[in-house]
Amino acid sequence: MPNPTAAMLVIGDEILSGRTKDTNTNHLACALTEAGIDLKEARVVSDEHDRIVEAVRTLSKAYDHVFTSGGIGPTHDDITADAVGAAFGAHVDIRDDARDLLEAHYSRQGMEFNDARKRMARIPDGATLIDNPVSIAPGFSIENVHVMAGVPKVFHAMVATVLATLTGGQPLLSETLRVFIGEGDIAGPLGELAKANPDLSLGSYPFQKNGAFGSNLVIRGTDPIKLKRVVGELAKALGVEYV
Amino acid sequence: MPNPTAAMLVIGDEILSGRTKDTNTNHLACALTEAGIDLKEARVVSDEHDRIVEAVRTLSKAYDHVFTSGGIGPTHDDITADAVGAAFGAHVDIRDDARDLLEAHYSRQGMEFNDARKRMARIPDGATLIDNPVSIAPGFSIENVHVMAGVPKVFHAMVATVLATLTGGQPLLSETLRVFIGEGDIAGPLGELAKANPDLSLGSYPFQKNGAFGSNLVIRGTDPIKLKRVVGELAKALGVEYV
């Protein structure tokens, strides 16, 4: 059975302006690879209602799971919950379970539970809350879409919680052969091995170091013994050592 | 006149597996912001012909400019040139101008100009070459799509070359107010200023530092004097100093 598929949707003008570097996609990508879920696409869209609605609809139809990051705080530009609700035609309002969590938290902190903070309890009907051990304001899952915070520490905690509830496939393993050979001299043997092993994915990722050209040759697959064998064959074909 | 719009398309399984961190999107985002071109969307897709064709078509219709990164090397997984050609119905083959560049380069280096390396001269008919001062193999522009290498050093050089040929709008400027106030206490004043200044974009980006919650409040716009005034108003409303 093929692995389940997934997409990442990052929401936020601050990523598109370059002010903030998105690190959540890479974190999710690593976690999904380990869990045996294939990340097939990632998108970044701006803080605009229609853009978010359209992306959520498209991605949730195309993939088994969609993970979103950003836009669930208390400020006016935090519109993700309403947009995701709209994508599924679900009513969105302050929900008792989320409000209770937040009210208790702010009471413990001696902070006012004002209207802005109540916005963080806006959850679509029918959604399941995702626990936020860092700053309490919950994420939520609705249909196959998991809505999480943009702050990396919170995002990481929420990804761990959600992944524990999903059934993955076989973890994708990889072996890397690092060579100081130009890609043009690698392409022949690499292409032949790729043809002979259609169940593996073989890629070449060139780099430049101290003026010399090299490449990381990465072989991916689910069978560790086969991976070792093919990377050995590749090393032999290129006349390099693989330890 | 509103600024021109743009999208970024990153092509590569290695980003989606988490093995490689994409830094090209952030580089492009910063360069476009400075050039007065609004990056509205970014996508990462896998090394699959149909995915690339679909993304190129969709993005080139939706935005003024599309920038791609990755998949233009000599190995079997480098399929971007053919996919972009297919997206526009353009014939793709080894083109004389690109072949001459590469042939001269490998001759200077004393390296064989083999079939794999010739693949890098596959350029769609009607495309304009983008100079590659780092490793010679050119990128290309076809219609409103600029096809560039994934290796960051080469991508940066190509972005600079392409941006010099495009007409931007007004550079988007930003002022940041860093406060150690919870977002819930910021939301009110920030939302009011956002409503009063529809030509500015106001965002709140929370962080956690040494257990304390804070937020970077970012105001973006094209008029530097107005930006300074509004950030001053925000600081006053929050009772903090802005120097």
| Complex ipTM value | 0.89
Whole-number pLDDT of residue B79: 95
Q: Which residues of B touch A106 (CB under 8 A)?
A: 184
The secondary structure of residue B3, as a DSSP letter, is: P
Same domain assignment for residues A126 and A50: yes
Of A163, A182, A210, which closes a domain?
A163
Same domain assignment for residues A28 and A140: yes
Whole-number pLDDT of residue A182: 83
CATH of the domain at A11: 3.40.980.10
Does a structural domain hold residue B168?
no
Region B110-136: mean pLDDT is 94
Q: Name the residue type at position B89.
A: G
Which phi and psi (to 5°) does residue A34 adopt?
Answer: -65, -35
Q: Which residues, including other chains, have CB under 8 Å from residue B205's CB and lie 6 or more apart?
A: A14, A19, A20, A150, B215, B216, B217, B218
Test the B interface: residue of A5, A33, A44 with most B CBs within 10 Å: A44
Same domain assignment for residues B137 and B50: yes
The answer on pLDDT for A83 being more than 80 is: yes
> How many helices (H) and strands (E) would you count in chain B?
9, 11
Which phi and psi (to 5°) does residue B49 adopt?
Answer: -50, -55
Same domain assignment for residues A207 and A157: no
Whole-number pLDDT of residue B157: 94
Q: Among A217, A58, A10, which residue's Cα sits nearest to residue B26? A: A10
User: What confidence tier does A213 reach under pLDDT thresholds 50, 70, 90?
Assistant: confident
Q: Among B76, B14, B46, which residue's Cα sits nearest to residue A196? A: B76
Q: Which residues of B touch A194 (CB under 8 A)?
A: 76-77
Does a structural domain hold residue B41?
yes
Same domain assignment for residues A154 and A194: no
Q: Which residues of A touch B204 (CB under 8 A)?
A: 73, 75, 77
Interchain contact, B17 vs A185, CB within 8 Å: no
Interchain contact, A19 vs B75, CB within 8 Å: no
Same domain assignment for residues B15 and B125: yes
Domain of A230, in residue numbers: 173-238
User: What confidence tier does A105 reach under pLDDT thresholds 50, 70, 90?
Assistant: very high
The C-alpha of A237 sits at a distance from chain B's nearest C-alpha, in angstroms, of 15
Interchain contact, B186 vs A116, CB within 8 Å: yes
User: What confidence tier does B106 reach under pLDDT thresholds 50, 70, 90?
Assistant: very high
How far apart CA A174 and CA A219 sit, in angstroms, is: 5
The answer on pLDDT for A158 being more than 80 is: yes
Which CA distances in Å does A157 have to A8, A63, B224?
16, 23, 39
Whole-number pLDDT of residue B71: 93
Same domain assignment for residues B46 and B115: yes
Same domain assignment for residues B177 and B129: no
Region A218-239: mean pLDDT is 93
Question: Number of CB pairs < 8 Å for A and B?
Answer: 208
**Percentage of residues of chain A with pLDDT beyond 90:** 79
Q: Which residues of A touch B23 (CB under 8 A)?
A: 21
Whole-number pLDDT of residue A61: 98
Whole-number pLDDT of residue A28: 98
CATH of the domain at A186: 3.30.70.600
Region A169-193: mean pLDDT is 89
Whole-number pLDDT of residue A238: 94
Q: Which residues of B touch A120 (CB under 8 A)?
A: 184
User: What confidence tier does A229 reach under pLDDT thresholds 50, 70, 90?
Assistant: very high
Q: Among B64, B118, B87, which residue's Cα sits nearest to residue B11? A: B87
Q: Closest partner residue to A184 among B45, B74, B208, by Cβ?
A: B74
Same domain assignment for residues A187 and A130: no
Does a structural domain hold residue B56?
yes
Whole-number pLDDT of residue A232: 94
Whole-number pLDDT of residue A169: 84
The C-alpha of B126 sits at a distance from chain A's nearest C-alpha, in angstroms, of 26
Of B141, B163, B185, which closes a domain?
B163
Does a structural domain hold residue A168?
no
Interchain contact, A213 vs B135, CB within 8 Å: yes
Q: Closest partner residue to B203 among A13, A201, A206, by Cβ?
A: A13
Same domain assignment for residues A149 and A203: no
CA distance between the termini of chain A: 32
How far apart CA A204 and CA B107 sit, in angstroms, is: 23
Does a structural domain hold residue B46?
yes
Where on the phi/psi map is residue A126: left (φ > 0), alpha (ψ -120 to 50), or beta? Answer: left
Which tens digits make up the pLDDT trace of B131-188? 998 889 999 999 999 999 999 999 999 999 999 999 888 888 889 999 998 888 899 9
Number of domains in chain B: 2
Q: What is the mean pLDDT of chain B?
A: 93
Same domain assignment for residues B154 and B196: no
Same domain assignment for residues A39 and A157: yes
Does a structural domain hold residue B243?
no
User: What confidence tier does A211 reach under pLDDT thresholds 50, 70, 90?
Assistant: confident
C-alpha count within 13 angstroms, C-beta hemisphere, residue A83:
24
Q: Which residues of B touch A134 (CB under 8 A)?
A: 208
Whole-number pLDDT of residue A35: 93
Does a structural domain hold residue A156?
yes
Of A163, A182, A200, which closes a domain?
A163
The answer on pLDDT for B130 being more than 90 is: yes
**Percentage of residues of chain B with pLDDT beyond 90:** 79
Q: Closest partner residue to B188 among A26, A116, A183, by Cβ?
A: A116
Does a structural domain hold residue A243?
no
Which tens digits make up the pLDDT trace of A54-82? 999 999 999 999 999 999 999 988 999 99
Whole-number pLDDT of residue B237: 94
Region A106-132: mean pLDDT is 94
How far apart CA B43 and CA B57 sit, in angstroms, is: 13
